[in-house]
Amino acid sequence: MSLIRELEFKELGDDRGNLVAIEANKTIPFPIKRVYYIYGSSPEVERGFHAHKTLQQIAVSVAGSCTMLLDDGHKKEEVLMDSPNKGTLIEPLVWHEMRDFTEDCVLLVLASDHYDESDYIRDYDDFLKQVSQ
Name 55's Cβ contacts closer than 8 Å, sequence gap at least 6.
Answer: 92, 111, 112, 113, 116, 119
Pick from 48, 57, 3: nearest CA to 28: 57
Q: Give me the tens of pLDDT residue by residue for the chain, a chain 133 residues long.
A: 777 888 899 988 889 998 998 999 889 999 999 999 999 999 999 999 999 999 999 999 999 999 999 999 999 999 999 999 999 999 999 999 999 999 999 999 999 999 999 999 999 999 999 998 7
CATH class (in words) of the domain with range 5-131:
mainly beta
**Catalytic-role residue among 50, 52, 74, 114:** 50
Name 35's Cβ contacts closer than 8 Å, sequence gap at least 6.
Answer: 108, 109, 110, 111
Sign for the CA dihedral angle at 43, 56, 89, 37 comes to: negative
The CA distance from 88 to 57, in Å, is 8
Alpha helix positions (H), 24-133: 124-131
pTM score above 0.95: no
The CA distance from 10 to 92, in Å, is 26
52 catalytic, yes or no?
no
